């Protein structure tokens, strides 16, 4: 992003900074304090500079949080080597790496948006598309399938993880799920037969298992579509 966008820094301190350093420090503060606790004043104090130096690199808090989430995504992306493995295995490894990274940084989950616009989100979609292109799908289906997989990875991760970042410090995930399960138990079984019999599952379920269950259904469908031949 051009350095002409923000307010000019004072004292030359901005020259000792970079957007990458600022975003990395923001990630640490977001992990510690959450999105509400991140301010430019506190970030400037952490970096031993003034807020004006930060605005020289980043326009506002919304942009900073988006860049921080994209950096988290980039770290997940970098953790998955480019192995010459099957497309399905590669997609699964990539998806789980992204989920685990967002699970470690819950504030980031709702800020990885689709369609992709920031650098690492673009790389993620391109890697997904490259792997999909290695399947037996016809080329005219590559875009639709690749974006569907991308939306699953980012969207379902956000649906599972983001609610945790909205909980206050006195409400744990377990307490939240227990409260929700109790609400389900109060429903009329005649109207909600599935929900009323699965309250224990809601209390005890594992978020990562929930994510990979849907992921495997999606990738199994991809395998069937790409190679519709019946098993030998």
Q: List, as one string, the DSSP characters of 99-158.
A: HHHHHHSGGGGGGS-SS--SHHHHHHHHHHHHHHTTSS--GGGHHHHHHHHHHIIIIIHH
Our count of domains for the chain comes to 2
Q: What is the CATH number of the domain that holds 140?
A: 1.10.357.10
Q: How many residues does the chain have?
A: 232
> Closest by alpha carbon to 220, among 98, 37, 89?
89
Which pLDDT belongs to residue 12? 43
Name the average pLDDT for the chain.
87
d(CA 2, CA 56): 9
Torsion sign over Cα 196, 165, 112, 157 = negative
Which pLDDT belongs to residue 168? 61
Residue 75 lies in a domain: no
Residue 29 lies in a domain: yes
Q: What is the CATH number of the domain that holds 44?
A: 1.10.10.60
Q: What percent of the chain has pLDDT over 90?
A: 72
Q: For residue 39, what are the domain limits?
A: 1-59
Q: What percent of the chain has pLDDT over 70?
A: 86
Q: Please indicate, yes or no, whether the overall pTM of this predicted structure exceeds 0.75.
A: yes
d(CA 195, CA 213): 19
One domain for residues 26 and 88: no
Half-sphere exposure of 199 (CA within 13 A, CB side): 16
CB 186 within 8 Å of CB 180? no
Res 159 pLDDT > 70: yes
If phi > 0 it is left, if psi is from -120 to 50 it is alpha, else beta; for residue 9 that is: beta
């Amino acid at each position: 992003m051009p350095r002409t966008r923000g307010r000019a820094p004072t004292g030359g301190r901005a020259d000792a900074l970079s957007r990458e350093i600022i975003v990395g420090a923001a990630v640490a503060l977001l992990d510690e304090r959450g999105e509400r606790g991140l301010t430019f004043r506190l970030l400037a104090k952490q970096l031993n500079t003034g807020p004006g130096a930060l605005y020289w690199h980043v326009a506002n808090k919304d942009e900073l949080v988006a860049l921080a989430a994209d950096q988290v995504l980039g770290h997940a992306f970098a953790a998955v080597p480019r192995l010459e493995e099957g497309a399905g295995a590669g997609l699964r490894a990539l998806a789980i790496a992204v989920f685990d990274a967002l699970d470690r940084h819950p504030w980031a989950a709702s800020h990885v948006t689709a369609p992709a616009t920031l650098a690492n989100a673009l790389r993620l979609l391109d890697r997904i598309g490259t792997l999909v292109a290695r399947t037996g799908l016809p080329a005219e289906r590559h875009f639709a399938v690749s974006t569907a997989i991308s939306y699953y990875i980012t969207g379902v991760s956000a649906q599972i993880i983001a609610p945790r970042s909205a909980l206050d410090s006195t409400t744990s995930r377990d307490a939240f799920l227990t409260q929700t399960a109790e609400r389900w138990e109060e429903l009329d079984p005649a109207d909600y037969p599935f929900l009323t019999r699965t309250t224990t599952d809601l209390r005890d379920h594992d978020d990562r298992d929930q994510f990979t269950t849907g992921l495997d259904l999606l990738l199994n469908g991809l395998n069937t579509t790409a190679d519709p031949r019946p098993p030998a």
